[in-house]
Structure formats: C-alpha cells, structure tokens
Structure 1
C-alpha cells in the first residue's frame, strides 16, 4: 500500500465524524496566484459606486435582453455546441471563415484554450507585467512557465525586452492592447515591428478586450496584422462595451490550424444559449449604432476625467480603455481605502497602483472630488 502523508490542520474538518481528505492535487497549484475580483460595494445605506471591475455602466440594450430572455424558454435543451449562427455572423464581420472563429465563455476562456492547445509543461509564455491578472493563473495551471516582462517607465509594453525574452522554449506571447490595468495601447507600427522579431512557430495573441474604447482614428488595424502573419490570433469579448459580462461570452479569430486546435480543447457546450443569442443580437445594425454611441460617450467621459486629473496635477498614463490607472506605488492601499471611505470602490494592484473604471458621470465626478481631497491632504 502506498504511504500517504499526514493531513495538515487545514485538511481536517471541524466535525470529528467527517472523512479525512487524502487526495493529491497538482504541485503547480501551490504556486498559482489567486485571481482577485473587483470588490463589491458594502451595503451600508449610503450611495456607493462600484468602479473596480471595468463593467459597463449601461444595462443591456433591450433587443439584446429580449434575445437572451427568449433563449431561456429552451433552457432544458443544450445550446448549439458549434455556435454556428454567431460564428457565421462574426466571420462575415471579420472577413474570415466561420471555422476561424473560436467562441468560449469570455475571451479569458479563449486564452485558457489557447494555452491548453500550445503549451506543454515547462514551455514558456511571455507577457507584459503588470497586465491582465488571469495570465499567470492560466499559464501556471497548465504547467507552463510565465516570463513576465516589466512595463516601461511610461507603463507601456517593452516590446524590445519582450522580443529578447523569447527562447527556444517559448510557445506563446500575449499582448494586451489597451493594456489592463494601465490603459496604454500599441500602434500598428509597434506591433508589426515586434512580429518581425518573433519566430513563426511562436503564437502571438493580441488581447483586445477594450478595443472599442480606443480612439477610432488611432486604433491599431490588428485585422490587417492578422492577415499578414500566420502566427497571430485576435481575442475579443462581449463583456465590456456590449455589457454582457454576466453572460460570459467571447471569441478568438485564428488561422485554420490553430482554430482547429482551439476547437479540440474547448469545453463542449461552454457558450450558453442565452449568451449566444445576446451576442448575436449585439451584432445587429441598430444595436451596433447604439453601442457606438455608448462607446463615444464613455470615451468622452474618460477624456474629461483624464484632462481634469491632469489639470489637478496628476501624472497618469494616458488610457485608451474604459478606466484610468493611478501608479501610486506604496500608497496604493491607502488610496484605495480612502476611495472606499468616500463611496467609491476601486481596484488596487498590490503596490503598483489603482485602476478606476469610467462609469456614470456621477461616479466620475466623485472620483475627481476624491482625488482633489487626497492631494490636499498629501
């Protein structure tokens, strides 16, 4: 009989009759960081704003909500596993074949599928840091090795350093533009120059969860970059501008071989019927027009907030996302607590800084007032 280790105190139950767990879990789980979700507001009777999760301040558009609700009438049936209607609509939108559209439960899940498809234990994944908090969790859970490349002093991707970090063990590079949480974005020229330095057998994923909030005149033409490079995959989501974060649906645009690999590893029936219906409704022309208006309004609010903060003396990275980032270093926790005391629930990142979502104007005005009070007491 194989020996088993003595269970630790944390493995024991308070109940003396409960069985003792002796299961073995993968060693790599011990090193995984925990994902920290945006803190919900405390229900203490006062008006509080949750600006910690980059959620849309707008409710779903009625036609989208109606489509999702209608899909619930067949909730006793499995959803379309092939997500055919949505994939066909997205393929037409991006001028690719439906087989090149890979749908899952949010773009985060597509990233997880991507890591499962190309990363073996010990393989390396290069990404900027700080960036999306799920990256190290997804890579580590697969047994991959994270190669975190620090952002520049301007809180941007250090593409030269990222290119230099690629080795024979590198299987995947993640680019996040606009970058979460700093809001900085990559240009066509910067991405194209980087791709010229990446071996063709290394996949480059361009994570564009916040693409719709970028100024349209300067947003990178990643579709053209995708067509020119067979190792590029684009990642998109319906969680942000479309306001479907609670339904969990996103997609990747991949070249055929990689698309087949993603299809092979994704969870069957992952995209629910209401999520598929809502996403499909979000692509209708009249809905897209309203979403464009919402995007423009959020960009205007973001610029208003950034301009006001700059006028008050704040030196922040210029964001192209639906959020702003305060690189406060060791004062991060204090600022987050100060915001919370004044009715604004924000997202702190260790000792790196605080991210604040651009929300309804009242919340944004409160942010500006809090920032003035913070500076006045500093």
Structure 2
C-alpha cells in the first residue's frame, strides 16, 4: 500500500479481511438446543445413558495432559483392525466421523468438482463440500424419506469426485438396503469415492440394511469408505472419536489433510475401554432401539406419518408448521431439533421422556390441516 494511502474501512457487518465469498455466505454449524434442569434434551442424537464405570475409570487413568497424544491413535487402530479383520493401515481414527468426512472431501474434491448426496440429510454435508471448494449436488429424497439411489447415480457427471450415502439417514431415519447399495455401486464409476456414513449403524435392527464392513469385504469396491463413530451407540459424544475403514491409499489421503494430534489420549483410552465393554453397551443400544420402535408405533397410532426409523431418532415432516410444532414440544419441556420449513427431528432419550413425547405429539397432530404430509 502506498505510504499516503488511506485504509478503507470494511462495510458494517463485513469481515476486516478478504474471505472466500462462498465461506462468508455459509452459516456456521449449529448444534441442537441445550436443555435446562427441568427439560429433556432431544435435540442432539446423543446416548442418554451415563458412561459405564469402566469407561470412567479408563478416563481417570489418563492424566498426562502435558504430553501430546499418539498422532495415529495406533492402539485403537490396531484394535479396530482386529475387530473387523483388516490391516491397521485400512483404519483411520479422527475426532469424530464428521472430521474424516471433511478430510476425505478435501482430499478428493477441488474447485470445479462436485459432491453428490441425498437431501435432506446430515446438515454438515453441503458446508463440507463448499469448504473443499466443490459444488454440492443435492438429490431429493423419495416420498417416503429414503435415498433415491437411481437418481443419485444419474446425477453423477465427469466432475463428480465423491458421493455420500447416509444409512440410516439423518434426520429422516430410513436405511439403504444392501441390495440397493450393491446395485448403486455397479452404476457408479470405480474412480469416484463413495462415502458410506454409518454413524448410527449399531441401532439398526433391519437385517436388509447395508453394512459397510460386509461391502468392504466384497471384491470390486475399493472406492468405498465406511465411516463409524463412538459418539452415538458408545456414548462418547463429548470426547469426539470416530473411525473409517477403507483402502489404505484413500485413508492416507485423508490423513494428509487432517489436523495433527486431534484425537486426545483420553478419547483413545475411552474408546478402547468401550470396546472392552461392547456387550454391555450394546444392551443399552437395544433398549434405545426398543424405545425408538415404541415411539414410532405410538406416534403412528396418534395419527402421525413417521418414516421407518433405524437410528436413535425419528422424523416429523411438519413442513411450514415446523417452528410451531417445535415450540409446542419445547413449551412441554422437550428440546427437539427443528429444520425450518422441513421437519422436526426427535432424538430417543430417557425413558421418562417417552410419555411426554407421545402426549404432546397427540395434541399437535390434530392442529395440522387435512392432507398434511405429516398426517397418516
């Protein structure tokens, strides 16, 4: 800048430095509302059970916070490799599965490229594609809130670098079946990365559902990476640890884009302890799945049209009535997750919340007009 130049003040509300326009226009991720002492937090898909004593003890054993953690989380990677019958370099651990998703998109996509995914799905997908510089390509769900895999395959172009498939789909709930996924893969170029987001895999009770570990065991699917997490079923949401299974060269690319040392020693230790206690933890998951199924049945009996739910949440397609319906739940002490103009997601929480959900939902459904998409 010339010595006599006068700095130009930024416009009101603008950043004081140059920011990529698409990032400046991108809304930050917003988590579900917190709940007060007299309310149930059903706005984030968390596990309502307290940590197991054995997991708490494992956390207390790691007190050396003055030292960096193992950058590769090697013990956890080897443990997961043994569990799934793969090599350690076919496992990548990061601070939540969403971190790995971000790393994969950064590795695969760049300006001018495209990332295909179903919509509505996990709200982080469009932002992560934009951050990578790519163009998000959103393919509408079917009328029953499921992935339209034929339409997603048809959306693939020579600019497509990644496809995200979320099963069970967050926030609507339905799965993709194994047979559907196999058919889909045969219609997708082998050099396009297919990310199977299975953050809620442990809650699935439908035997027809796709299983990423089964897919990866089949020949010809080297372009598939399966994502899973310890945040949901294993109850470690506050520690942020997830993992991917896939081809080592793809995972090497993700590792190259990752922020080093992002998985803490505490998170790794808690994940290892959770695997030791997996039988006990999955008993809790079975209780949550049963609670989910009872909620779905009760809501349908009350007159709601509920998509098949296979995660730890359920979906009310309330459309333009979303804010009003969410407010009714919140006034009743239930913090839910509204997606304005689309619907309300209700996480499966404590048993004591079930009756309140059904009671408030029954009082609200009658206020929706005849023919409303959320009425059965």
1:68 aligns with 2:62: no
Offset of 1:5 from its aligned partner?
Answer: 4.8
Please tell me whether the aligned partners of residues 117 and 265 of structure 1 are also in contact (alpha carbons under 8 angstroms).
yes
**Aligned-partner SS, 2:346:** strand
Distance 2:241 2:18 in 1: 32
Map Cα deviations across residues 14-69 of structure 1 (whole Å, 9 max, x no partner): xxxxxxx74222222123233221011246xxx21010001110011111111122
Distance 2:176 2:297 in 1: 21
Superposition pairs of residues 353-372 of structure 1, within 5 angstroms: 353-372=343-362
Match of 2:225 in 1: 233
Please tell me whether the aligned partners of residues 32 and 136 of structure 1 are also in contact (alpha carbons under 8 angstroms).
no
Match of 1:174 in 2: 164
Offset of 1:122 from its aligned partner?
Answer: 1.9
Matching residue within 157, 181, 186 for 1:191: 181
Match of 1:14 in 2: none
Offset of 1:324 from its aligned partner?
Answer: 0.6
Matching residue within 21, 26, 47 for 2:20: 26
Offset of 1:332 from its aligned partner?
Answer: 0.5
Matching residue within 38, 49, 58 for 1:58: 49
Distance 1:181 1:221 in 2: 19
1:308 aligns with 2:287: no
Structure 2 unaligned blocks of 5 or more: 369-376
Give the TM-score of the pair, scaled to structure 2: 0.93
Distance 1:36 1:372 in 2: 28
1:209 aligns with 2:199: yes
Q: Number of matched residues?
A: 363
**Aligned-partner SS, 1:74:** coil
Structure 1 unaligned blocks of 5 or more: 12-20
Map Cα deviations across residues 132-159 of structure 1 (whole Å, 9 max, x no partner): 0011111111211000001011100011
Offset of 1:10 from its aligned partner?
Answer: 2.2
Superposition pairs of residues 274-313 of structure 1, within 5 angstroms: 274-284=266-276, 287-313=277-303
1:7 aligns with 2:1: no
Please tell me whether the aligned partners of residues 94 and 242 of structure 2 are also in contact (alpha carbons under 8 angstroms).
yes
Matching residue within 85, 88, 99 for 2:89: 99
Match of 2:115 in 1: 125
**Aligned-partner SS, 2:92:** strand
Distance 2:69 2:83 in 1: 22
Q: How well do the aligned residues superpose, as a CA RMSD in angstroms?
A: 1.5
Please tell me whether the aligned partners of residues 303 and 362 of structure 2 are also in contact (alpha carbons under 8 angstroms).
no
Distance 1:149 1:5 in 2: 43
Distance 2:136 2:108 in 1: 14
Offset of 1:377 from its aligned partner?
Answer: 4.5
1:318 aligns with 2:308: yes
Match of 2:373 in 1: none
Distance 1:39 1:295 in 2: 23
1:200 aligns with 2:203: no
Compare 24-33 and 136-145 and name the one that shifted more: 24-33
**Aligned-partner SS, 1:127:** strand
Distance 2:16 2:116 in 1: 35
Distance 1:377 1:121 in 2: 46
**Aligned-partner SS, 1:282:** helix
Matching residue within 42, 45, 48 for 2:39: 48
Distance 1:84 1:331 in 2: 49
Moved over 6 A (4+): none
Map Cα deviations across residues 177-213 of structure 1 (whole Å, 9 max, x no partner): 0000000101110000000011011000000000111
Distance 2:138 2:199 in 1: 20
